[in-house]
Amino acid sequence: MKFSRSSGVILHPTSLPSPDGIGDLGPEAYRWVNFLHDSGCGLWQILPLGPTGYGDSPYQCFSAFAGNPYLVSAALLLEDGLITRRDLRDRPSFPAHRVDYGEVIPWKLAILDRAYRHFKEQPESELAAEYQAFVEAESSWLEDFALFMAIKESHGGIPWDQWPEPLRLRQPDALQGFTRAHEDDLARHRFRQFLFFRQWRALKQYAAQKKVRIIGDIPIFVAYDSADVWSNPELFYLDQAGKPTVVAGVPPDYFSATGQLWGNPIYRWPYHKETGYEWWLRRIRATLDLVDFIRLDHFRGFSGYWEVPYGNETAEEGRWVQGPGADFFDAVCSALGQLPIIAEDLGEITQDVIDLREQFDLPGMKILQFAFAGDNTDPFLPHNYPHNCVAYTGTHDNDTALGWYRSASEKERDHIRRYLARSGEDIAWDMIRAVWSSVAVMALAPMQDLLSLGTEARMNFPGQAGGNWAWRMPGDALSPGLTARLREMNRLYRRLEGQPEPPARKYGEYDAADAPPRRTRPGRVVNPSQ
């Protein structure tokens, strides 16, 4: 599909300010949308919205369809009468600038349980009818997810492959017996999802009114410990006991000397093809219900993916395996029409990956931080960008612009200073200017770069098991000065939301107003249109 020239900011909702220890979908999210609108940015890029599991990573979720209940706003629950101020009296004193998941998770779940108890006391309310409609509309994934979470909860949170065999293997009698004994637990998990979707859809509607479009994220793989794998084992390469035979990762690259061992089970792509990619179509439709564009993470995996034998400790030993390729995207196009997809085509990219992306006219990604280790032919340098790409100063997987600059070699620092014709004293905004001024159809920067923050504000260290996904934006970050500075950048480089595209012209054609002023004598300028 045709993308319009625009700009935006990467900020996951967990990074928003909030008194509840983690960013949420409440008042600060609406304030954030207002900031984007006022600064002239038409894009808000987020990470996956699913319920996080191991390591608190949004790329390792308990479901590819469910929402993260930790994002539900207590302030909005209060407005809806689902909790009282009394319910908030025992709120812990959370750190302001980082998410302490160990403290946040039990607090948030306790608030959600209080909301559920209040909800049950109003069985004939309009909200109850809204809830019932949600349950019926989302039943294709919601029932399995609620059952999965209730079983997991009843067994102390252990992975599903450690459950008793009848539940692990989804024996009908065992599932029916558990459901009868734990119906209220299942309803409680359905209700948490109802709250998330209700609040997110309201926020998305508000963003649309403010002409802010949301770029979501689909990880190519799903977590092994997820409702998706437990309820659909036929979709993955698993043995008879339910263990993966092979897992996903990437070989050694820029990010990690030993590669990245993700551990996700590998899809049985031949089976997916037999079903017309039905599960994937449902997944994409569900995501597009929540966002406007999709960043398809690890796009190269659709052309070919790195397969590692289960049990290996690193991703160094593995093999490349052919992915579903054009057949998959043909099926998606046939079902959904034009694809509002950004291809995350970073890492070891071969010609077949480029061909696949170009065949479906998908914009790829350019990361400015990658540009200065080579020469002037480097594809990440702005003068080499194609129009159909999305340019970034960095992403959630990179250091911040300032952190990168401080840790870069002197050769790289010298290169970027000469390339940008800047001293490096305001390097984050120098890099923002370079990306915004490029021909790339979309230009984005992490919020950390707009604030000129260092490595302490980094969102993720790839390959590091803990301590990620915790950064939070300061409550006073959205200042009038920052809004004005970003708006001016958008105005200068024709990325201001609502700014019209220039008219299409043949070579040599121009309007009088476009011509440079001419001098008739020193000191006097005449516009040719006058």
For residue 250, the 8-state DSSP code is E
- Collapse the DSSP code of 371 into the 3-class scheme (helix H, G, I; strand E, B; otherwise coil) and give the result: coil
Structure tokens at 363: 């914009």
361 part of the active site:
no
CA distance 452 to 482: 11
8-state DSSP, 98: B
Q: How far apart are the C-alpha atoms of 499 and 460, rounded to whole Å?
A: 34
Helix (H, G, I), strand (E, B) or coil at 288: helix
Rounded to the nearest 10°, the torsion over CA 380, 381, 383, 389 is 30
Considering the candidates 24, 344, 430, 497, report the single residue annotated as catalytic: 344
Other C-beta atoms lying within 10 Å of the C-beta of residue 254: 15
- In the set 297, 399, 430, 497, the catalytic residue is 297
Q: Is 52 helix (H, G, I), strand (E, B) or coil?
A: strand
Judged by DSSP in three states, 66 sits in: coil
What type of residue is 464? Answer: Q
Q: Catalytic: which of 217, 397, 430, 449?
A: 397
| Cβ atoms of 292 and 215 closer than 8 Å | yes
Tell me how far apart the alpha carbons of residues 81 and 119 are, in angstroms, rounded to a whole number: 9
Distances in Å between the Cα of 53 and the Cα atoms of 70, 81, 152, 230, 296 are 12, 29, 12, 15, 21
**Does 397 qualify as catalytic in the annotation?**
yes
φ, ψ of residue 25 in degrees (nearest 5):
-100, 25
Q: Per 3-state DSSP, what percentage of the chain is helix, strand, and coil (rounded to 5)?
A: 45, 15, 45
Please indicate whether residue 344 is annotated as part of the active site: yes
3-state secondary structure 408-468: CCHHHHHHHHHHHCCCCCCHHHHHHHHHHCCCCCEEEEEHHHHCCCCHHHCCCCCCCCCCC
| 3-state SS, residue 7 | strand
Q: Which two tokens stand for residue 376?
A: 């002037």
Catalytic residue list:
297, 344, 397
